[in-house]
Structure 1
């Protein structure tokens, strides 16, 4: 722990949350020239910083040389972002720098010249592709093409023409394989609507504008690697769309507060792209899900349902249940006696959430951080998958201190503000909701039955044999491509090459001659695990390469990963391959599996010139170990095309 981190722990420990001195500390580090060296302490500082201070923090952080930061913190992930747009876009860099730094990421921006967005999107692919392109649009994207005097019909014609131009530019960007693109809807400004003096024309202009924004939103439906951030909800919450002076003199057509809010949304997109979406929401009870203290008021004395505050707590429960219906795992960590808690969850007439909505209820008098560890262990998930909500600043501070991987959301005594606090950071945002997401809670409840079975048998081998595991390997059908993509985006531990693939990239693998995507499914006596892994294989002459192997953390240590390797080796030998190679690309979260291939009979080859960061392994197929005896393996890789050249192409 650095001196700065030690200072942070002592000044923002349990009992504190927002630290008004955090910005001052950041400024001191900047003036002393130590900010790059202390970059690992920055996320902690920003997490305690009042929201109003983040833009100023971003100004300081954006002055850092990314190369200098990487020298001191080589493990900090770098996110390269190209920023372009219709007007001046440079002001978004500072807030985006701060928002990414909050999540432990380092921004490497490339800002385009004024108004160059169409050329930027249509430019052919170059060598140094950014991970993300932000294309900022504003009302002048349309109105700059409208001449005075104008009517609503003139704006309609300009909007249609601009939407057609944008659609072509986006298509060119995506067909060139230039990665993730973020657009935005455009607020309609009063300064334009009220230039029309008759109310019917204003209404017509509003309809025209909504159709333009609908077209921008539909581009995300047409292209899986396009995201359109809707700015209407931000403006609807009171964020000003425009500042007249900067709009006029600096051509910065979106206000600084709106750019800050947009930057937060864009950071959520980046986080989802890097597989950092959270999966588990752990909630306190007293003061969080209901008002009052259950141990003092009793089950019928808590604030819930009746009265204004009771209705507000009920509304927060509706928000939580909505998240749970989309695959977010819900759990409880409460300092309470278990019996009364169960009584409320089962029978209180005003409860929106019921006992069956939670995969785990820890109601006891243990420390909250110990309860969170217990929930993580029982679910088989890392703490970096957790979000914790509590109305006690002491408990929030203690969990943040003891479990820094957990995202902590403090709420206060005003329940009407609980939903906004929970949703502010988009912790559970993902690119596409799949059937596996909708079935997740049921599968984790089934996992609890497996845990009970494990506790009832003598040895771990007896447990494995009693599970009756079946592993099924098949090429995915079209409906499963989104799930395979999601596994590459969200899995961090057993992800041997840590390559994040969007649906079109997975589809390209399945269609490419000489390549195979193999979906891994598993089931046992307690139920169907679903699609829990994927192998990406590539044939090069007599070699079969495992380019990537990803497996859900909830099925670790049951022999499934060994069964997959055995199936690949059998497939290779049956199709005339002379050897199988495996590729391991180190990441901050997959180090536990660095020896996976070596443990399965592969010899270490080291790196190569084309892939210097990866470690390569080779299996000569002389002796192929069978799949573990406690499970049944059903593998069918599909037709094999041997007519490939050295790149796996015909």
Structure 2
């Protein structure tokens, strides 16, 4: 059987790897025997010879992730698995590697290579020697505690100085240190000191949005020894290959999330996926998710899925079954943890599953690239991969005890931080169904909008909304006027900049609160505003919210004595729906201030604030501190 790695080797041999880089993610998504995937370190070594410029010349839209890597010991070995993991998600690595043991200089020198590279992520890989190099030759647990406190203070300072998003890690404690203490009481004391240090390191993320701390303990538990003794002694490679492979996977998930590529909806098969048995053949009494050894494994999988849903992951069903039978089972089968109300869509029929997934995405107003599909059938998975290659596919098999691990392995739903809007998302999408019913029962679209009772609140964001602003800007693709987004740290930087600001829009209607659905990034200079970007959640498109928000922004600018508002539209693969917004609100096209520099189709606009657009009549707008208008 030809593996994905074999196919990549063949492309390299024929000199086609750069030209075919857009196919790499799909090749690596193919399943090996038993659903196995390619060794990403081997993939990374194969891709290390790529010419990034050649890749971008063939595929200029390929997302490039600049990663700076430094650390306490020799850490360059992380680049191969990281390059492979990023390739699995369609990302191209641009790496900047610091010198051995120079992480303090690398992270604090503004003129250094790591800073000037302007990395998206800065990986600072630490290990036990980071602490133990500061303890005396003959030591006690108290000496380790003092050294750990110094390292923690250093890490807190680095979080504010490092370029890009700083990624730290907890420090595994090798048994060779604890066994140097011959009494069990001292060993226990050292273990407590070490765990307290790692806990405080993890809590750095509560103090500031800038750092991310990856907990290595779960990876060590899965991957075996922390290091190879010979490599640690002679080459100063203190974190072993299995651990670095797991770490690289976590970093790739983080990079994907920071680019707004988090998936939103988990679509599940039913037979041998949510329950044991085949409903159409064995009937409701013949399926189980409790009461038997295999049934308990399916119940554990449902519990895991429900946990994901509680954090905003949308759940849907695509199953080849009779819809009435499925409805009855989801309503009252005694074994089930999940019920019909937990799903925003249930497609039970005998149609091809790629069509069912496309239908689910359409009904939820999502792109199909927002879906994750989990199924135990290799044939169904292959059919979806062929028909909808942008859908992430989770390969389940005949062993339900592995379902949870397989679902969670790729972190498809990982986000930098969780917001209250996330937790309320399932309710919001159920309200979407109620809105659809209202629209279908209305005589016209205008009648529907009037009956919807849309209310829009605009103004500066609240301090606690930084995480939601970051999430909205990073995950919005369709109504993202200039492409890109803001991290939570970038939102904080804007808040501290007197010449820039973010204004937001919150929306509600008769069916409930949609939360924060819009944001505008504004720069003020020479008596004018410039809309650097404007984002509107796809959940509220088609209701006039985007026009109302822009009308309020223009009115606010004139009230503040400004003379004009400029804006740009930078076309992306997904934002064509937004290209007419500025002209429709009275903006006039103008020449770009840097002619010839934009070969990407960028359009520049200016509004002179003389004649302002009106707010759609069906929307009631409230500005911060002002009465409704």
Match of 2:28 among 40, 43, 46: 46
**Unmatched runs of 5 consecutive residues or more in structure 1:** 1-18, 639-650
Q: How much does 1:88 deviate?
A: 0.6
Equivalents in 2 of 1:150, 1:563: separation in Å?
Answer: 67
Structure 1 residue matching 2:592: 3-state secondary structure = strand
- 1:129-208 correspondence runs (5 A): 129-173=118-162, 178-208=163-193
Q: How much does 1:474 deviate?
A: 2.0
Q: Residue 493 of structure 1 corresponds to which residue in structure 2?
A: 478
**Unmatched runs of 5 consecutive residues or more in structure 2:** none
Kindly provide the CA deviation profile for residues 534-564 of structure 1, in whole angstroms up to 9, marking residues without a partner as x.
1222332332221211110111121111111
Kindly provide the CA deviation profile for residues 466-511 of structure 1, in whole angstroms up to 9, marking residues without a partner as x.
2222222122221222211221122122111234223343244345
Change (3 A) 1:553 1:221: same
Q: Residue 44 of structure 2 corresponds to which residue in structure 1?
A: 58
Equivalents in 1 of 2:574, 2:178: separation in Å?
Answer: 52
Change (3 A) 1:243 1:511: closer
Change (3 A) 1:507 1:148: closer
Tell me whether 1:297 sits opposite 2:271 in the alignment: no
Q: Residue 109 of structure 2 corresponds to which residue in structure 1?
A: 123
- The question of whether the paired residues in 2 share the 8 Å contact of 1:518 and 1:637 is answered with no
Equivalents in 1 of 2:285, 2:622: separation in Å?
Answer: 54
Equivalents in 2 of 1:506, 1:167: separation in Å?
Answer: 20
- 1:409-428 correspondence runs (5 A): 409-428=394-413
Match of 1:113 among 99, 115, 129: 99
- 1:27-106 correspondence runs (5 A): 27-48=9-30, 50-51=36-37, 53-106=39-92
Q: How much does 1:147 deviate?
A: 4.2
Q: How much does 1:47 deviate?
A: 1.4
The TM-score, its normalising length taken from structure 2, stands at: 0.94
| Structure 1, 398-407 or 314-323: larger mean CA deviation | 398-407
Tell me whether 1:21 sits opposite 2:3 in the alignment: yes
Structure 2 residue matching 1:607: 3-state secondary structure = coil
Equivalents in 2 of 1:331, 1:141: separation in Å?
Answer: 47
Q: Residue 599 of structure 1 corresponds to which residue in structure 2?
A: 584
Q: Residue 642 of structure 1 corresponds to which residue in structure 2?
A: none
Q: Residue 464 of structure 2 corresponds to which residue in structure 1?
A: 479
Match of 1:631 among 608, 619, 628: 619
Q: Residue 621 of structure 1 corresponds to which residue in structure 2?
A: 609
- 1:262-341 correspondence runs (5 A): 262-341=247-326
Structure 2 residue matching 1:281: 3-state secondary structure = strand
- 1:199-238 correspondence runs (5 A): 199-238=184-223
Q: How much does 1:127 deviate?
A: 4.3
What is the aligned residue count?
616
Q: Residue 380 of structure 2 corresponds to which residue in structure 1?
A: 395
Q: How much does 1:386 deviate?
A: 0.9
Equivalents in 1 of 2:54, 2:499: separation in Å?
Answer: 42
Equivalents in 2 of 1:457, 1:552: separation in Å?
Answer: 24
| Structure 1, 298-307 or 322-331: larger mean CA deviation | 298-307
Equivalents in 2 of 1:167, 1:524: separation in Å?
Answer: 43
* Higher RCO by CA contacts (8 Å cutoff, separation 6 or greater): 1
Equivalents in 1 of 2:160, 2:469: separation in Å?
Answer: 24
Change (3 A) 1:381 1:546: same
| Structure 1, 273-282 or 362-371: larger mean CA deviation | 362-371
- The question of whether the paired residues in 1 share the 8 Å contact of 2:110 and 2:116 is answered with no
Equivalents in 1 of 2:206, 2:473: separation in Å?
Answer: 21
Change (3 A) 1:580 1:139: same
The TM-score, its normalising length taken from structure 1, stands at: 0.91
Q: How much does 1:360 deviate?
A: 1.2
Kindly provide the CA deviation profile for residues 618-638 of structure 1, in whole angstroms up to 9, marking residues without a partner as x.
122333221222322333488
Structure 1 residue matching 2:39: 3-state secondary structure = helix
Structure 1 residue matching 2:271: 3-state secondary structure = coil
Kindly provide the CA deviation profile for residues 226-279 of structure 1, in whole angstroms up to 9, marking residues without a partner as x.
100001011112433111222222211111111111000000111111001111
Change (3 A) 1:52 1:105: closer
Equivalents in 1 of 2:492, 2:149: separation in Å?
Answer: 32
